[in-house]
Amino acid sequence: MNNHLKFFIDGKWVDPVVPAVLDVINPATEEAYTQISLGSKADVDKAVAAAKTAFETFSLTSKSERLKLLKRILAVYNDRYEDIARAVSDEMGAPLSFAMEAQAWAGRGHMEATIEPLEAYEFSHQRGSTMVVKEPIGVCALITPWNWPLNQIVCKVAPALAAGCTVVLKPSEIAPISGIVFAEVMEAAGTPKGVFNLVNGNGPDVGQVMAGHPDVDMVSFTGSTRAGTIVAKTAADTVKRVAQELGGKSANIILRDADFETAVRKGVEGCFGNSGQSCDAPTRMLVPSDRHDEALKIAKAAAETFKVGDPKSSDTVLGPVVSQLQYDKIQRLIETGINEGATLVAGGPGRPEGLNRGYYIRPTIFGHVTSDMTIAREEIFGPVLSVISYEDDDDAVRIANDTVYGLAAYVQSRDIEHARQIAARMRAGSVYLNYPEWDTHAPFGGYKQSGNGREYADWGIHDFLEIKGIVGYAG
């Protein structure tokens, strides 16, 4: 018996107040493989009430108590690691090896990256006669996406609990099963009742209700800029804090002094990872104009090495994208790129050869893209790379920053000082020099329409805290 049709509220698995179900589709087969229940305002009210009651005592726990809880959660997470990875593979089509090595790993990594800084975190300090205290903000509504489910669940839940907050989580209804497994982890770890609650459902009926709920003190949302705008407007009526990690259209500047072959190849890999479904993917590759055709030749060769197919096959590199909606959107944007005059170098419309079902996308490279083209401006969220020319450093920086987004940027150069100079001019929350390893201790979040607030490690803990000044504390 699984918990797919239940919610986790006040320490118990419960049925929805109003029965309603949704099929969960395996994107590799286009068939439903399970169902979840869809929540309503009544379920949100129950979950928020449980979190509000639990906050009265959990907010007063010591740092030591919260550390013990997080360490128990990490231990149970590791026990359920393979179950989590298999859930991600089934619900979003990630190749099983990628689900194990990246998707499930991300949850573990963020739990570890929260525990470590919490050990040394100071929640108060005296400044003159005033005691400055950092206190948990309250009941937090956490709304997470389908593309990196455990990454976003854990990098919200862990710092919220570290700060002493209580939470209501709404995972994406498109990829909800890994969130249910995570709730089972929280239960098995002995999380006090009401501290962690899970309600499945869609955006209008659950997410927006959470965002506007008068007893919710903060919303942490990851998703599209369009949906984030709705969340922020809904939350505004109750003047609650809203932290958002939204869309991106990240530039990858390959400087003239870079190792060109390696930089282009790794840029293709970075764009295509997770089937292109990463908000910080380097989807705009900027190359010197006189080396544009050379870059296209390297990129084409790199794209043709990506084996697209069954996520359960050991040689699959890219699985499908998550849904029919995403598949149709990506196909439309590929067609738009062709119609607007970009050069199709690899891939193109339709499924890869030999695949007649599943939401599979051909790994696609466009060359001679200009910044006014749709594919250079819209977040495609699939394995589609746009290669753009620049004349000099100033031109590259101008093109890179010419976007409403500002989540990430990438710079490649053999000269690290040159790369640092360009990084200083990027209007983005994260800048990655020469394809570094994933750093779960680095701050993560965006400028402009890519959001506000920062996640990961102690940066995440900050976002869930209020600041109180007790003046005259010294007596």
Residues catalogued as catalytic: 245, 279
Question: CA-CA distance, 124 to 141, in Å (whole number)?
Answer: 25
DSSP string, 363-427: -EEEEEE-TTSHHHHS---SSEEEEEEESSHHHHHHHHH-SS--SEEEEE-S-HHHHHHHHTT--
Planar angle of CA 43, 47, 52, nearest 5 degrees: 145
Pairing of strands 7-9, 12-14: antiparallel
Sequence-distant (≥ 6) Cβ neighbours of residue 214 within 8 angstroms = 238
Are 304 and 298 in contact, with CB atoms under 8 Å apart? Answer: no
DSSP string, 190-226: TPPTTTEEE----IIIIIHHHHH-TT--EEEEES-HH
Q: What are phi and psi of 117, to 5 degrees?
A: -70, -25
Sequence-distant (≥ 6) Cβ neighbours of residue 30 within 8 angstroms = 324, 357, 358, 359
24 sits in which H/E element: strand 21-26
332 CB-contact burial (10 Å; exposed 0-12 / middle 13-18 / buried 19+) = middle
Question: CA-CA distance, 136 to 431, in Å (whole number)?
Answer: 30
Q: How many CA atoms lie within 13 A of 300 on its CB side?
A: 13
